[in-house]
């Protein structure tokens, strides 16, 4: 069918050339039976140009791709009537127009936000005679309809990521230009660059990406020295942030959780041996076995999703693959023809225990991901659940990992259990309330103090407007009906007592407080602030990870000239094309 399609295309092309003469260069004749070019105002011309822009944005491609001969031949084959747009049109007109559209939409949405939280993300990479860095500023807010929204306000070039004052200066300027100065409730910031902290993978479990073995950047000694240097720089930067932002700055929970897993797994170096062997087995079967035979192991969702490069970047994605392999190890060993890849019983037991130990950490990491639901209220229960899991899990091969995980959890996340922000967020989540607390009186007092800081008493005018009767109730015709007595304003203590007296519910927290905002006006004010704080990483942080793993300027792979614009539009893709 394809050969017949190409043959017909060739016949049409030859007929067109006979009518118009030989083509010169890449100029296509504008005439011929049924082959007139689109007018620039034609909707089909605009739709194809927009589709090309979408591809450039989503895949972070350089705009110069539209000038490539192969790309233009593909366009000519798919739609001969389309007039290819030049590179400068994409760079100087189309992309800037999209940026303006996003900025206007973001500013308009933020006008109605009473408060918001902000995440600061850094990415940097140093290559051969090159230094690239970007600062991403993401705003999280709850709109008037009680839906949580996130928008990347800016992605700015920032070669010197260690300059904290420059980061804060840029942040202040962005806040001012978007009208959120004075509205920011919390700033989630960790000034260790994304290149060195986000993409932790299981040690030794190096999976194939795009048909190539995973490459490490330099020797182990260089990597360790680099990490140590970055850790010192990051510690100094975060200390400077604490001095400038005070209590409004917090760390990202998902990032701290990944650090705990990294420290725990690396606390038992011998686990890298079975992991390395398991990775070799995985790489071999992916390269030699037909995908349809592996459906029963890795599932059939989105065809071969488990083969995609993005599926092997982070530890929790790798753990999913490892668990699927462990559960189907007998089948996998039956279909391979190499005995050197078969794992011993001890190695299988080690991997099985590792999966069992890390599974709740994977569950916690997956639970807080996403920017469309409340995630900050899940952090404290996750820490309590992980503590309980590590105290009860029974291991024979991975006891060192369990001990290292417990120590890392206490060192990095124990403070959450007493942090007023997390206590407030968890208690105001209707599925938890104070059911998690071992000292409910003390936590109730913490909550009352926190609510007192972030609420303003409602004025009599506001109470009057809320209790204003409908016109039908004010008319004389219904005066014989006994009027309902007006309710007096409740204190914070009364609101909290009534709220906690109700049974917990699995209702979405935002929809719950939307429904209860009249009954609990003071508590709902605090909920609308606290729930803006994300416990998860942002979309721009994930894009930074992708950039660091695919473009990699240190390997002389050229970055698009307008990469900051492409990252900005990719992170805000839903605003443009929801």
Per-range mean pLDDT, top range of 10-19, 79-88, 223-232, 554-563? 79-88
CA 466 vs CA 271, 451, 463, 470: distances in Å: 62, 21, 5, 11
Average pLDDT, the chain: 81
Assigned token pair, 367: 């639970």
Instruction: Give CA–CA dist 159/466, Å, rounded.
Output: 52
* 3-state DSSP assignment of residue 150: strand
The answer on pLDDT for 272 being more than 70 is yes
State the DSSP code for 337. -
Residue 199: what are its φ and ψ, rounded to 5°? -95, 50
What is the rounded average pLDDT of the residues 31-50?
80
Contacts of 99 (CB under 8 A, 6+ apart): 565, 568, 569
Going by pLDDT thresholds of 50, 70 and 90, the confidence category of residue 464 is very low
Condensed to tens digits (0 to 9), the pLDDT of residues 338-369 reads: 888 889 999 999 999 999 999 999 999 999 98
- Considering only residues 428 and 212, tell me which one the structure prediction assigns the higher pLDDT: 428
What is the rounded average pLDDT of the residues 484-499?
77
What is the rounded average pLDDT of the residues 494-517?
94
- Considering only residues 406 and 309, tell me which one the structure prediction assigns the higher pLDDT: 406
State the DSSP code for 82. -
Instruction: Give CA–CA dist 30/427, Å, rounded.
Output: 68
State the DSSP code for 133. E
- Considering only residues 88 and 246, tell me which one the structure prediction assigns the higher pLDDT: 88
The answer on pLDDT for 501 being more than 90 is yes
Q: Which residue has the tokens 């930074």?
A: 544
What is the rounded average pLDDT of the residues 241-270?
85
User: 567: alpha, beta or left, given left = phi > 0 and alpha = psi -120 to 50?
Assistant: alpha
The predicted pLDDT at position 34 comes to 55
* 3-state DSSP assignment of residue 245: helix
Three state DSSP letters for 4-53: HHHHHHHHHHHHHHHHHCCCCCCCCCCCCCCCCCCCCCCHHHHHHHHHHH
Going by pLDDT thresholds of 50, 70 and 90, the confidence category of residue 18 is very low
Check if the beta carbon of residue 226 is closer than 8 Å to that of residue 341. Answer: no
Instruction: Give CA–CA dist 81/72, Å, rounded.
Output: 12
């Amino acid at each position: 069918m394809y050969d017949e399609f190409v043959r017909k295309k060739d016949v049409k092309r030859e007929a067109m050339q006979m009518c118009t003469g030989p083509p010169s260069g890449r100029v296509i004749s504008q005439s011929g039976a049924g082959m007139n070019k689109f007018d620039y105002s034609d909707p089909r011309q605009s739709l194809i140009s927009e589709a090309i822009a979408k591809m450039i944005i989503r895949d972070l491609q350089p705009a110069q791709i539209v000038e490539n001969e192969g790309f233009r031949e593909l366009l000519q084959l798919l739609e001969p009537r389309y007039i290819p747009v030049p590179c400068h049109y994409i760079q100087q007109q189309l992309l800037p127009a999209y940026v303006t559209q996003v900025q206007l939409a973001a500013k308009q949405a933020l006008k109605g936000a009473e408060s918001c939280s902000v995440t600061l993300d850094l990415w940097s990479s140093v290559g051969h005679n090159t230094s690239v860095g970007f600062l991403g500023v993401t705003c999280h807010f709850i709109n008037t309809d009680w839906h949580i929204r996130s928008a990347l306000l800016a992605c700015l070039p920032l070669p010197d990521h260690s300059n904290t004052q420059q980061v804060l200066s840029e942040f202040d300027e962005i806040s001012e230009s978007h009208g959120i100065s004075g509205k920011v409730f919390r700033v989630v910031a960790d000034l260790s660059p994304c290149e060195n902290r986000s993409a932790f993978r299981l040690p030794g479990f190096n999976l194939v990406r795009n048909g190539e073995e995973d490459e490490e950047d330099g020797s182990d000694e260089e990597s360790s020295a680099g990490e140590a240097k970055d850790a010192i720089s990051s510690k100094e930067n975060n200390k400077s942030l604490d001095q400038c932002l005070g209590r409004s700055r917090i760390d990202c929970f998902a990032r701290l959780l990944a650090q705990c897993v990294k420290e725990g797994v690396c606390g038992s170096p011998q686990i890298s041996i079975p992991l390395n062997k398991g990775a070799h087995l995985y790489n071999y079967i992916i390269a030699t076995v037909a995908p349809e035979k592996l459906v029963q192991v890795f599932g059939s969702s989105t065809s071969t999703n488990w083969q995609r490069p993005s599926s092997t970047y982070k530890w929790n994605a790798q753990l999913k693959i490892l668990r699927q392999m462990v559960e189907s190890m007998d089948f996998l060993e039956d279909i391979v023809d190499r005995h050197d890849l078969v794992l011993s019983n001890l190695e299988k037991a080690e991997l099985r225990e590792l999966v069992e130990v890390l599974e709740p950490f994977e569950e916690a990491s997956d639970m807080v991901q996403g920017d469309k639901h409340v995630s900050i209220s899940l952090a404290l229960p996750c820490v309590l659940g992980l503590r309980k899991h590590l105290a009860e899990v029974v291991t024979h091969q991975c006891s060192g990992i369990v001990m290292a995980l417990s120590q890392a959890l206490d060192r990095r996340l124990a403070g959450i259990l007493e942090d007023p922000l997390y206590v407030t967020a968890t208690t105001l989540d209707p599925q938890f309330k104070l059911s998690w607390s071992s000292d409910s009186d003390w936590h109730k007092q913490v909550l009352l103090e926190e609510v007192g800081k972030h609420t303003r008493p409602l004025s009599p005018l506001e109470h009057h407007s809320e209790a204003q009767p409908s016109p039908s109730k004010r008319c004389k015709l219904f005066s014989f009906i006994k009027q309902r007595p007006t309710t007096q304003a409740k204190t914070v203590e009364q609101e909290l007592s009534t709220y906690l007296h109700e049974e917990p519910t699995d209702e979405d927290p935002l929809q719950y407080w939307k429904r209860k905002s009249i009954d609990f006006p003071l508590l709902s004010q605090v909920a609308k602030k606290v729930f803006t704080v994300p416990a998860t990483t942002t979309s721009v942080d994930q894009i930074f990870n992708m950039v660091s793993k695919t473009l990699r300027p240190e390997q002389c792979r050229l970055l698009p000239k307008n990469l900051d614009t492409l990252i900005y539009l990719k992170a805000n893709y839903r605003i443009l094309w929801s």
